[in-house]
Structure 1
Amino acid sequence: MQLEQKEIKTVSPKNASAYLNGFRESKSKHSGNYIVGIADTVLMEDISNTSEQLAVIPAKTVHRNLKSRILLLEIDGKVESVVFSTHAYDSSTAELFSGEILITDLEGNFIDAFEIISGKINVQYLKRKADSTKALQSKGIVDDENDDCGDGCPFSVCSWCG
């Protein structure tokens, strides 16, 4: 089986700022914003095994206890973006991260999430489908964690359950 190779390119700081300005303008027309603050600074981080860089913009979301960044990269000629948020555990160190990672789109829609222990993926959280949550609840699964999720949400932040 042949894997499709995607072309990735760096989004320049100037283009990153323009992209985010467009996002700011469009979100001002909508209520219920997931991103509540975006820094003016665009940091550039090297991507391993390439000459390209990832545009990283510090951000604040409705999840105030998370450290969030908007990540921008050009993939096959189109700027792609995600919000990458982390919640570090007390055992986390500068060398080995331990904690939770939440990846969403700019509107806060769940894409992926992980629990990392000592730098290694321990758990990948899957998005719950409404029908599977209803099925769990109809089987008498109770809120044993007292987190108001109704079925024992695995996240430390209940609203991640979706």
Structure 2
Amino acid sequence: MSVDFATLVTTYFIEREENLVKAQARYLERVEAVRDITKVLWVSEHITQEDIPLIKEHLIVDLNEDRHAIGLGSAEEEHWNLYSFATIVEPVEERAGPDTDASRLWFDLRLADEEEYARSFISWTRLQELSTTGRKLPNGVVGY
């Protein structure tokens, strides 16, 4: 059976440069876990530095909330940069839970678990449907 569609999963995260190797190791752990639920078609080999002010601002707010919760001061923003990883997988219909429309992939490819507090990594994930055949996508773009 041929798959006509794939899902591009982009994980944005904010981190200090000296922690990028640790972030990449964590991401590869997440990709391995996703292999249990779907076929992984492609994984980026490199971390991409991003320049998306809105996402960086949102993640800096999350970072500072975590830091304040454990008694630390605000992050020195010039030491924290925005990066991303990308993965392409076969579509997953499974939802993250019974009370959500979010795909399980959205949860599984984030760098930090919500239960982990303060989070080791602050990240945000975007899903987008891709056509592997050039045909029109059935549902347009899916993103969170």
Q: Same fold (TM over 0.5)?
A: no
TM-score for both structures, normalised by structure 2: 0.35
| Bigger fraction of residues in helix | 2
Q: TM-score, normalised by structure 1?
A: 0.32
Which has the higher relative contact order, 1 or 2, with Cα contacts under 8 A spaced 6 or more apart? 2
